[in-house]
């Protein structure tokens, strides 16, 4: 019995000694960057249930290096997932924390690569896997021995959750961002929108109305509220906030175009035209303001043309309206040369104003487009 115990003890010593010799050999190969020779030894040791944390660390490092030669995002994800697994196993068996710093360094590299790969998958519209990747990067940064604040990963996760219509998760990440940086107004707006999409309109308005009006991005909040009221077809409420917004964004031509289009929908054409003109005073190339103003003036001319008996003052007004229409339509035609509504109005203007040369040229152009 004593002899059997002695033999067993000697076998264990022999195995232990062999394992230590293996580790030294692997370490030597790794230090010389002879990873192809080290890998089969590592795999054999792991297969024999050798739980030395260095084996898992080295395995992760060898796998991690493959990321440099990989080009496809799903392949990169598989490489990173595998490296991540082995680093976590190294942590598990590193009872004395001797490898923690080097494991942390490699994990942070994996997290950074996860970020790049996640964006690749996001751009490829593979949002589910992109969100999973971003959250793995976040999990790495949340490890107690790393504890790194990376708001970009939160933002990536938030916008990906938005794409997936996962409003609960979007709210979670936008909340993290805005708690860390309360003046990140784009994220504050995104958080408000996420609450609205989740049916929590009370929270939506709470966020918007609690905003300090002194900050320079107040226009973002007003535009969001205006959009909300327009979605609800509450044009009067939208106009109230547009008037308030003029204090902060008075040089924005699109604001006056927006106000004009709302007034036009309400049937207040003259007021709408005044807003379009304000828009064009700021940006003469605003194609929408040009088109709407041209169409409104054109319609005034057409209404007079429909009259059976036209006075001399009617004819004067018709010519005046059509000439004004031409000014705005020509700008639109430069940007949309085949817009059929523009071409039709131009043709009427040329015909009624006896501009035969222009009419004939336009008729040829229309025929070429139709053919």
Please write the tens of the pLDDT for every residue from 162-202: 999 999 999 999 999 988 888 888 888 899 899 998 999 88
> By residue range, what is the domain housing residue 40?
18-148
Question: Is the Cβ–Cβ distance between 194 and 217 less than 8 Å?
Answer: no
Cα–Cα distances in angstroms (integers) from residue 105 to residues 76, 126, 153, in the given order: 19, 29, 18
Assess whether pLDDT exceeds 80 at residue 136.
yes
| Position 6 pLDDT exceeds 50 | no
CA-based torsion, 87, 90, 95, 100: positive or negative: negative
Quick one: DSSP state of residue 6? H
Of the candidates 132, 148, 164, which is a domain's last residue?
A: 148
Give the residue from 349, 318, 316 showing the smallest Cα distance to 332.
Answer: 349
Q: How many CA atoms lie within 13 A of 200 on its CB side?
A: 14
Instruction: Please check whether residue 77 lies inside any domain of the structure.
Output: yes
> Would residue 72 be called left, alpha or beta, if left means φ above 0 and alpha means ψ between -120 and 50 degrees?
beta
**Last residue in a domain, options 110, 127, 148:** 148
pLDDT of 322 over the 90 cut: yes
Burial tier of 140 (Cβ tally within 10 Å: 0-12, 13-18, 19+): buried
Query: Is 36 within a domain?
Result: yes
Split into its structural domains, the chain has a count of 2
CA distance 243 to 248: 10
257 domain-assigned? no
Q: What is the pLDDT of residue 217?
A: 62
In a domain, residue 68? The reply is yes
User: Considering the domain boundaries, does residue 8 fall inside one?
Assistant: no
- The pLDDT confidence band at residue 2, using thresholds 50, 70 and 90, is very low
Q: For residue 19, what pLDDT band results from cuts at 50, 70 and 90?
A: low
* CA–centroid distance for 283 within its chain: 28
Q: What residues have CB less than 8 Å from 354, skipping those under 6 apart?
A: none
Q: Which residue is listed with tokens 């205006």?
A: 226
Cα distances from 131 to residues 109, 164, 184, 281, in angstroms, run: 18, 9, 22, 45
- Cα–Cα distance for residue pair 240/366, rounded to 1 Å: 43
In a domain, 2, yes or no: no
The answer to whether 53 and 23 are in contact (CB under 8 A) is no
Under a CB-based contact definition with an 8 Å cutoff, are residues 136 and 170 in contact?
no
Residue 251 has pLDDT above 80, yes or no: yes
Q: Give start and end residues of each alpha helix (H) in 210-355.
A: 218-231, 235-245, 253-265, 269-282, 287-305, 312-335, 340-352
**Length of the chain (residues):** 371
Q: Is residue 162 part of a domain?
A: no
Last residue of a domain, one of 148, 178, 198: 148
| CATH code (residue 53) | 1.25.40
- Residue 187: CB partners within 8 Å, gap ≥ 6? 155, 158, 174, 177, 178, 181
Instruction: State the number of CA atoms in the 13 A half-sphere of 34 facing the CB.
Output: 10
Q: How many CA atoms lie within 13 A of 67 on its CB side?
A: 24
Tokens for 189, please give them: 């707006």
> Confidence class of residue 7 from pLDDT cuts 50, 70 and 90?
very low
Q: Is residue 117 assigned to a domain?
A: yes
Q: What is the pLDDT of residues 56-107, one digit of tens each?
A: 998 999 998 888 877 788 899 999 999 999 999 999 998 888 988 999 999 9
């Amino acid at each position: 019995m004593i002899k059997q115990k002695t033999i067993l003890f000697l076998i264990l010593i022999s195995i232990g000694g062999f394992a230590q010799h293996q580790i030294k050999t692997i370490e030597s190969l790794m230090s010389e960057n002879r990873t192809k020779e080290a890998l089969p030894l590592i795999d054999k040791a792991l297969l024999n249930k050798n739980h030395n944390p260095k084996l898992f660390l080295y395995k992760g490092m060898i796998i991690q290096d493959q990321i440099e030669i990989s080009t496809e995002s799903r392949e990169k994800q598989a490489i990173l997932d595998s490296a991540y697994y082995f680093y976590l196993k190294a942590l598990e068996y590193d009872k004395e924390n001797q490898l923690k710093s080097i494991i942390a360094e490699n994990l942070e590299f994996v997290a950074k690569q996860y970020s790049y790969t996640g964006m690749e998958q996001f751009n490829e519209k593979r949002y589910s896997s992109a969100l999973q990747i971003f959250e793995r990067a976040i999990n790495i940064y949340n490890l107690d021995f790393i504890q790194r604040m990376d708001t970009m990963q939160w933002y990536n996760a938030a916008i990906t959750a938005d794409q997936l219509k996962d409003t609960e998760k979007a709210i979670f990440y936008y909340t993290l961002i805005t708690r860390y940086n309360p003046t990140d107004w784009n994220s504050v707006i995104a958080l408000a929108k996420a609450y609205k999409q989740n049916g929590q309109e009370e929270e939506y308005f709470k966020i918007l109305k609690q905003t300090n009006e002194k900050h320079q991005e107040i226009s973002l909040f007003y535009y969001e509220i205006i959009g909300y009221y327009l979605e609800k077809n509450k044009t009067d409420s939208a106009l109230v906030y547009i008037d308030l917004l003029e204090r902060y964004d008075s040089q924005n031509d699109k604001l006056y175009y927006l106000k004009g289009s709302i007034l036009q929908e309400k049937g207040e054409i003259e007021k709408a035209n005044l807003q379009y003109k304000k828009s064009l005073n700021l940006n003469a190339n605003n194609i929408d303001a040009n088109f709407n103003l041209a169409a409104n003036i054109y319609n005034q001319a057409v209404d007079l043309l429909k009259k059976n008996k036209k006075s001399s003052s009617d004819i004067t007004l018709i010519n005046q309206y059509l000439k004004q229409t031409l000014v705005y339509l020509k700008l639109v035609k430069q940007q949309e040369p085949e817009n059929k509504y523009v071409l039709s109005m131009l043709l009427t203007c040329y015909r009624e104003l006896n501009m035969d040369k222009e009419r004939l040229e336009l008729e040829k152009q229309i025929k070429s487009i139709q053919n």
